[in-house]
Structure 1
């Protein structure tokens, strides 16, 4: 969609048959916070998602690096929700009517995960403010509360550990976090699996972090990638902040509803 306006881009995806709206959570629907489990969707973002859910032939999904359990907590997502979830960068899913959907792992992967996480905690215990976040398929090293020097030290120590003990693990960087995982799925594969599952004829994906670029780069000519922020990105549309994304999504929901009304006349 390079070279067209935001309004034209919205109109194009609004005109598709079945639309999947797949959204990152942290920094996209919720502000980034020092205590990750305190993250919550902004009210205007929640309103926009409700509008999309009410629009015909429109499916909403959250696609996050968070583990599925943590994503459900911060998204305030219960078993009655129609919103699909992809956690752990697409290694686990929650589907309405089915519940948790995960792919089997070898027991030795879980054992190594627990050992490495414990080693990382021990190696960084002297750095006040670092948090080693447990994840289903690995762990994350949060350094938001650290000085730049201490953050660099924490990341160096854990990088050295993982390189020595699990060089085959996937490493991802984000806002004040480095994630390590024995599963290699990315948000691109998450979007692809969700697209196939719901039979979407087009996808809108929005995110803010570099970990969202896998999904943004994977989109096709009928899709729309949206970046929340202003940096180099594969996204074809950029919005300034969460409020601006919410406005875009509400415009999209309105266009989807208007399209259905016109077709029914």
Structure 2
């Protein structure tokens, strides 16, 4: 029996220029306790390779990870043809020969806000230092509080302390919740703006986007009638299609690559 998503995949495979934009953690790769040890499933990596080789098809990773870390976990080399949008769309990488639009944030603002962020991160680290299983990951435009290894009451305590610090010191920062993580950033871009930029630059006539978490819903809600949104795993979603896990997503992406190549 064919999977429920078969007809949707076959339909979008016929578009003239396709953008396949994919979250990474929990989407191409299972979630892990060590964020930098995460890697795409072999089946997912192969599906990405086949899609990237298909005619008139652009593949992009769209992640909350800062760009440098996304390149590590995505095993992304300098000669890769996979486009990247890191830090929820605040950072971008394109293959050689494709121009990246200049950042519209003045350098003076970047320097000033980076200094504020560094001081805030140091205070946040001290605040959660004694809380078992809670730790802080500095990021390009802020930081993330991880509580995957913490007990529920410890996670709640850590989040309360950090929320209070950010509310006092940087109330204008954007707060995002995910699976056992809360992110705070002075850049307000979201995955919806990342998709819009990728769509325009790739001149896509349709977009496939897949994600597994709350932050991916911004992108899923932004998709149009002719696009295909995919939710990986459980949770309320705006996606047209749901798959059980990264392995089933790899199956879907492989079917898309086959249809696209033909």
Q: Counterparts of 1:99 and 1:155 in 2: how far apart (Å)? A: 40
TM-score norm. by structure 2 comes to 0.94
Identify the residue that residue 196 of structure 2 maps to in structure 1.
192
SS in 2 for 1:80: coil
Aligned equivalent of 2:131: 127
Do 2:12 and 2:226's aligned partners in 1 also have CA atoms closer than 8 Å?
Answer: yes
Q: C-alpha distance in 2, partners of 1:40/1:111?
A: 32
CA-based RMSD: 1.3
Match of 2:33 in 1: 34
TM-score (norm 1): 0.93
Rounded Cα–Cα distance in structure 1 between residues aligned with 2:64 and 2:120: 19
Question: In 2, are the aligned partners of 1:19 and 1:59 still within 8 Å (CA)?
Answer: yes
Matched-pair contact (CA < 8 Å) for 1:63–1:86: yes
Secondary structure, aligned partner of 1:32? coil
Distance 1:210 1:75 in 2: 21
Gaps of 5+ in 2: none
Question: Deviation at 1:57?
Answer: 0.6
Aligned residues: 254
Q: In structure 2, what is the equivalent of residue 19 of structure 1?
A: 18
Question: In 2, Cα distance between the equivalents of 1:181 and 1:102?
Answer: 20
Counterpart position of 2:76: 77
In structure 1, distance between residues paired with 2:56 and 2:193: 22
Cross-structure match for 1:160: 164
- Structure 2 distance, partners of 1:69, 1:114, is 18
Structure 1 residue aligned with 2:240: 236
The residue number in structure 2 matching 1:201 is: 205
Find out whether 1:176 has 2:147 as its counterpart.
Answer: no
| Cα shift at 1:81 | 0.4
Three-state SS of the structure 2 residue aligned to 1:232 is coil
Segments of 5+ residues of structure 1 without an aligned counterpart are: 259-265
Secondary structure at the residue paired with 1:62? Answer: strand
The CA distance in 1 between the partners of 2:170 and 2:53, in whole Å, is: 45
Matched, 1:224 2:228: yes
CA–CA distance in structure 1, aligned partners of residues 196 and 224 of structure 2: 11
